[in-house]
């Protein structure tokens, strides 16, 4: 976990990172599993690091200005056998703008540091980085880009802590007009000191270049055979015979669905056999043998060792199992004859040669066989070879571990999960038991601490426990309905309809397992719930209920039963989860049924909020005129439209009810805020009127938040200011104070009360640059009303804890005990991350 105190005003407030939920960028080469047993991946502009043992994301590294395309550890898992005692590991990350950054990880301290950004030679996005350790402190790596260039670098790491990394650009290669998208480096067998670089890409050929460690790389030969783009290349470590490396194997995969293993065998010195070789006739044998790679004075015979056919779609990645420490003396490592491949056919396969015939066979197949999975972008071995990790089309991870002792038995394991597009809104469950988030990835997700895990008592382990809504439109806003009764929420997407969802029985029971300390909390809710779960039709947007007492009838099997067609999509099987679920369960079996649709708005929904009583929901949509910018009020239960509030001329960006539901505050793109008084005196009749409207800022107002203990509220704007206002005599609004100008546009605000008597509170401020600050607000009251407000900076959160793109929403967790001294703040942003912070007030 990222932890530690943020720097800043330091009024005895400590902030610790509790949880990060994020999805993986949906691109090949995005994930890398290092020798330090940590996994790096790109989450929008951030480089995220997670620990496979705990299934928790530790931190995100800020620095990239564009989406992260690829990551590569130095040393990678291939060199784990000799990296056991390293104090520092390094990570390379490349982004869609062509920038490459080098990071340092200190194993002993568990801390990350930014080393440097490489001179930006690539003009377009970096698509692949590969590197090898040529000594304990020296690495050679290569990068390729959509601009059709490949650059080769040398980096020398400091031998003692505190030293600087030395970076040297060795060479630039351009193979032609078609970009290379796959690279692999290896040392050549024999004592030549030469390296070989394999490149593959859009011309369907593998290009081999060789060069000395610090010299120029020259073109060696081309390997032909693949009939479509080459997507992945990986060299094994040189194979040893008689204690001497004599050949090296290269594996390649392609969009032609095939995998090829190439062998490069040491042919001998050119001085002795060059003339003899040239006189050989071109025969069938020489054609099968393939070309000869010449490196300095040594030549290598390249031949096709094997062709592996088994995948039914593009093979995006192939990787040799990492070597292990050799048992016998004299040999440094033992390279297993084992290859992992990952494909868009939703499977990963492990290939090994059969013991007797030597023919390569598929010995293990794992995959996501649910119809909603759309294939894998890459597969990776753990450093010790007992686990395999895939990342998929849905931004998801899939991890299997070999738990068998006498035979192989690969079982799915827990992994981190999260949204794979910008997260637009978050809301805490009514009692703060869970956090609900919505995103432009068209899903709604629920994250919660799973308290009955075998983890330390003081450390909550957070996981995604449900995916209530899987939609066909980007989701923009959400509101959890307060009050008594079952858990319900309303969500609004890029459509004119708001949708109401209700928790099914399977979720209520799962939540009971997750929150074991208060396991009886949901018993009273479960009594009247007759819906077990929900189903999504193949081409529909509505989620239909599955009833508890519905007959489980099996339809007649048709001819297409084995095929994954739209007609044969299986029904969801709602289950009560007794441990955190994996992707396969989340994607289909944890849906909530949709109970109502709210029709009325003329454009796409943009903002939603619910009152504290559970009587009203307010909604707004994207608007460019006063008629469309109306705020609609909906009565919870009957779901009738009971009010249309007119005030603004452009999109209302956020709304919030005051603590006693007497007022509704709205802020808008038209730079104004409005305060409406709401009277719910009658059962069906709602009366409302505009109390105040004011142009409050010079630019768009993005955020607003009420003081939970009074009629004061805050507004935050693109003009980089936050202003504190108060409602006077329930008829007018007065400006109390303006906070000092912030470094970036203010995009999110959330106010929590600390002490009702003294009217102190904390205001969380989120900005467009991803940073978060906490401010202390003390409202001074007198007999004549509110006299003023004093604001002071409490803490600026460490950038390593914060978002790397705009903060879209902040929300304090409903705390049952105001005097506990420990608060939790949730945030979400455009960087695909949901974050939970613990704020300790001393």
> Span 596-623, mean pLDDT?
93
Check pLDDT > 90 for residue 341: yes
pLDDT tens sequence across 540-572: 667 777 777 654 444 444 444 444 444 445 666
Least confident of 224-228, 502-506, 681-685: 681-685
For residue range 50-86, list pLDDT tens digits in order. Answer: 999 989 999 999 999 999 999 999 999 998 888 888 8
Look-up: residue for tokens 């794992």? 366
Strand-strand pairing, 244-254 and 258-269: antiparallel
* Residue 282 confidence (pLDDT) above 80: no
Looking at residue 202, what DSSP letter applies? T
The predicted structure's pLDDT at residue 580: 84
Biggest CA pair distance of the chain: 108
pLDDT in tens, 620-632: 999 999 999 999 9
pLDDT of residue 729: 80
CB 439 within 8 A of CB 429: no
Q: Place 453 in a pLDDT band, splitting at 50, 70 and 90.
A: low
Please name which of 320, 316, 130 lies closest in space to residue 236, comparing C-alpha atoms.
320
Q: Residue 172 — pLDDT band, cuts 50, 70, 90?
A: very high
CA distances from 101 to 35, 128, 833 (A): 19, 13, 21
Q: How far apart are CA 789 and CA 738, in angstroms?
A: 9
E-strand ranges in 159-297 read 166-173, 180-187, 194-201, 206-212, 217-223, 230-235, 239-241, 244-254, 258-269, 292-295
E-assigned strand segments in 27-117: 32-33, 39-43, 46-51, 56-61, 68-74, 88-95, 100-106, 111-117
Q: What is the pLDDT of residue 559?
A: 41
Q: Tell me how far apart the alpha carbons of residues 204 and 224 are, in angstroms, rounded to a whole number.
A: 7
Calpha distance 838→6 (Å, rounded): 12
Whether residue 475 is predicted with pLDDT greater than 70 in this model: the reply is yes
- Share the mean pLDDT of the chain: 85
**Residues 6+ away with beta carbon under 8 Å from 146:** 124, 125, 127, 179
Torsion of CA 489, 491, 497, 502, to 10 degrees: -30
What integer pLDDT is reported at residue 456 of this predicted model?
Answer: 46
User: Are the C-beta atoms of 103 and 90 separated by less than 8 Å?
Assistant: yes
381-418 pLDDT, tens digit per residue, is 999 999 999 998 888 999 999 998 888 899 999 999 99
Helical (H) or strand (E) element with 19: strand 13-22
328 pLDDT band, cuts 50/70/90, is low
Rg of the Cα trace of the chain? 30
Check residue 241 and give its pLDDT.
Answer: 62
Which of these, 632, 587, 748, lies nearest to 23 by C-alpha position? 587
Q: Of 307, 229, 294, 228, give the one whose Cα is nearest residue 262.
A: 307
With a pLDDT cut of 90, the percent of the chain lying above it is 56
For residues 106 and 473, give the distance between their C-alpha atoms in angstroms, rounded to a whole number.
43
DSSP-derived letter for residue 79 is: G
The pTM of the full predicted model, rounded to 2 decimals, is: 0.90
Query: In degrees rounded to 5, what are phi and psi of residue 270?
Result: -70, -25
Strand order in the sheet with 387-392: 376-381, 387-392, 397-402, 410-413
Is the domain covering 423-522+529-548+570-841 a CATH 3.40.640.10 domain? no
Residue 242 dihedral angles phi and psi, to the nearest 5°: 55, 45
| Residues 760, 780: Cα–Cα separation, whole Å | 9
Percentage with pLDDT > 70 across the chain: 86
Q: For the chain, how many helices (H) and strands (E)?
A: 5, 62
CA distances for 57 relative to 422, 459, 633, 698, 790, angstroms: 18, 14, 40, 39, 37
Could you report the per-residue pLDDT of 741-789, keeping only the tens digit for each?
Answer: 999 999 999 999 887 777 788 999 999 999 999 999 988 877 767 778 8
Exposure pattern of 603-613 as b/e (b: 16+ CB <10 Å)?
A: bbbbbbbbbee
Domain range list for the chain:
311-419, 423-522+529-548+570-841
Q: Please, is 349 exposed, middle or buried when counting C-beta atoms within 10 Å of its C-beta (0-12, 13-18, 19+)? A: buried
Alpha-carbon torsion angle 487, 488, 493, 498, nearest 10: 180
């Amino acid at each position: 976990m990222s932890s530690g105190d943020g720097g800043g005003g330091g009024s005895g407030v400590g902030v610790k990172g509790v949880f990060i939920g994020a999805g993986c960028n949906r691109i090949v080469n995005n994930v890398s599993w290092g020798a330090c047993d940590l996994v790096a991946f790109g989450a929008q502009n951030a480089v995220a690091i997670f620990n496979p043992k705990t299934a928790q994301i530790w931190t995100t590294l800020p620095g990239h200005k564009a989406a992260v395309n690829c990551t590569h550890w130095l040393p990678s898992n291939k060199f784990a056998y000799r990296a056991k005692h390293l104090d520092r590991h390094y990570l390379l990350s490349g982004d869609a703008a062509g920038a490459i950054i080098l990071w340092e990880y200190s194993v002993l301290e568990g801390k990350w540091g930014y080393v440097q950004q490489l001179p930006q030679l690539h003009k377009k996005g970096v698509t692949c980085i590969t590197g090898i350790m040529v000594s304990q402190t020296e690495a050679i790596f290569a990068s390729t880009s959509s601009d059709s260039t490949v650059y080769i670098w040398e980096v020398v790491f400091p031998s003692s802590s505190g030293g600087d990394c030395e970076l040297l650009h060795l060479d630039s290669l351009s193979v032609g007009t078609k970009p290379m998208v796959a690279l692999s480096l290896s040392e050549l067998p024999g004592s030549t000191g030469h390296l070989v670089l394999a490149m593959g890409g859009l011309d369907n050929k593998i290009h081999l270049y060789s060069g000395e460690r610090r010299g120029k790389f020259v073109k060696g030969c081309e390997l032909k055979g693949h009939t479509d783009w080459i997507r992945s290349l990986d060299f094994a470590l040189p194979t040893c015979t008689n204690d001497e490396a004599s050949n090296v194997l290269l594996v390649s995969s392609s969009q032609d669905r095939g995998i090829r293993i190439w062998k490069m065998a040491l042919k001998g010195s050119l001085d002795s056999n060059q003339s003899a070789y040239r006189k050989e006739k071109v025969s069938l044998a020489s054609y099968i043998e393939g070309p000869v790679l010449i490196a300095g004075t040594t030549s290598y015979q390249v031949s096709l060792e094997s062709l592996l056919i088994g995948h039914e779609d593009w093979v995006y990645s192939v990787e040799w199992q990492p070597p292990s420490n050799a048992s016998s003396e004299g040999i440094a490592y033992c390279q297993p004859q084992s290859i992992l491949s990952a494909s868009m056919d939703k499977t990963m396969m492990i290939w090994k040669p059969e013991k007797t015939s030597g023919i390569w066979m598929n010995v293990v197949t794992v995959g996501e066989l649910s119809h909603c999975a759309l294939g894998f972008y890459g597969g990776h071995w753990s450093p010790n070879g007992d686990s395999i990790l895939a990342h998929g089309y849905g931004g998801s991870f899939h991890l299997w571990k070999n738990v068998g002792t006498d035979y192989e038995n690969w079982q799915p394991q827990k992994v981190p999960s999260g949204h794979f597009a910008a997260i637009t809104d978050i809301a805490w469950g009514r009692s703060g038991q869970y956090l609900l988030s919505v995103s432009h990835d068209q899903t709604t997700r629920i994250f919660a601490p799973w308290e009955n895990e075998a983890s330390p008592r003081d450390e909550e382990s957070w996981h995604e426990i449900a995916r209530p809504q899987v939609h066909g439109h980007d989701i923009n806003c959400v509101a959890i309905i307060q009050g008594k009764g079952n858990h319900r929420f309303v969500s609004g997407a890029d459509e004119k309809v708001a949708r109401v969802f209700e928790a099914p029985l399977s979720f209520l029971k799962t939540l009971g397992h997750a929150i074991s300390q208060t396991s009886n909390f949901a018993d009273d809710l479960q009594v009247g719930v007759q819906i077990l779960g929900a189903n999504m039709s193949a081409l529909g947007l509505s989620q239909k209920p599955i009833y508890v007492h519905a007959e489980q009838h099996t339809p007649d099997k048709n001819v297409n039963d084995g095929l994954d067609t739209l007609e044969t999509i299986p029904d969801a099987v709602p289950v009560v989860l007794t441990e955190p679920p994996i992707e396969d369960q989340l994607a289909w079996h944890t849906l909530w049924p949709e109970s109502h649709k709210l029709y009325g708005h003329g454009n796409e929904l943009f903002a939603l909020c619910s009152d504290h009583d559970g009587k009203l929901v307010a909604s707004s949509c994207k608007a460019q005129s006063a008629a469309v910018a109306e705020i609609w009020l909906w009565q919870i239960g009957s779901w009738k439209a009971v009010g249309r509030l007119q005030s603004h001329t452009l999109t209302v960006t956020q709304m919030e009810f005051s603590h006693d539901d007497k007022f509704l505050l709205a802020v808008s793109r038209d730079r104004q805020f409005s305060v409406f008084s709401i009277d719910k005196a009658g059962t069906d009749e709602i009366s409302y009127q505009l109390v105040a409207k004011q142009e409050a800022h010079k630019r768009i107002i993005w955020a607003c938040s009420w003081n939970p203990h009074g009629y004061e509220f805050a507004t935050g704007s693109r003009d980089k200011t936050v202003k504190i206002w108060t409602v006077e005599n329930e008829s007018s609004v007065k400006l109390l104070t303006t906070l000092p100008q912030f470094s970036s546009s203010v995009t999110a605000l959330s106010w929590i009360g600390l002490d009702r008597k003294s009217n102190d509170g904390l205001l969380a401020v989120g900005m467009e640059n991803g940073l978060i600050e906490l401010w202390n607000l003390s409202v001074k009251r007198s007999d004549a009303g509110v006299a003023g407000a004093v604001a002071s900076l409490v803490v600026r959160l460490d950038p390593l804890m914060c978002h790397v793109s705009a903060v879209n929403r902040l929300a304090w967790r409903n705390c049952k005990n105001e005097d506990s001294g420990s608060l939790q703040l949730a945030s979400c942003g455009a960087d695909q991350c949901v974050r939970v912070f613990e704020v300790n007030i001393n």
